[in-house]
């Protein structure tokens, strides 16, 4: 694995922890055993009123995370 990929992974893993904190604040539930995709699925529920720009950014970060975790699987 290239050093750049490793750096990206660490940055995106840190972002995942921020996502978990945001999820907990918005839903008032723990996010412990949910993966990134499951968190986003819940946050897309319209009644939660998550900003669409934020959701688009989180989806893009998830896509980049998957590329970094699984190179060559696009």
Mean pLDDT of 49-70: 88
Q: How many domains does the chain have?
A: 1
CA distances from 65 to 11, 13, 22, 26, 35 (A): 9, 8, 18, 23, 12
DSSP state of 6: H
**Domain-located, residue 19:** yes
Mean pLDDT of 31-41: 88
Mean pLDDT of 58-70: 84
CA distance 6 to 3: 5
Q: Which domain holds residue 65?
A: 3-69
**Domain-located, residue 12:** yes
Q: For position 3, what pLDDT does the model report?
A: 66
Number of other CB atoms surrounding residue 39 within 10 Å: 21
Mean pLDDT of 55-64: 90
In angstroms, the first-to-last Cα distance of the chain is: 17
**Domain-located, residue 74:** no
**Domain-located, residue 44:** yes
Residue 1 has pLDDT above 60, yes or no: no
pTM of this prediction?
0.78
Residue 44 has pLDDT above 90, yes or no: yes
């Amino acid at each position: 694995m290239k050093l750049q990929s490793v750096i990206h992974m660490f940055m995106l893993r840190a972002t995942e922890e921020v996502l978990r904190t945001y999820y907990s604040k918005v839903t008032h539930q723990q996010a412990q055993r949910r993966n990134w995709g499951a968190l986003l699925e819940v946050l897309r529920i319209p009644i939660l009123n998550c900003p669409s720009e934020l959701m688009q950014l989180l989806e893009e970060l998830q896509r980049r995370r998957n590329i970094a975790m699984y190179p060559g699987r696009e």
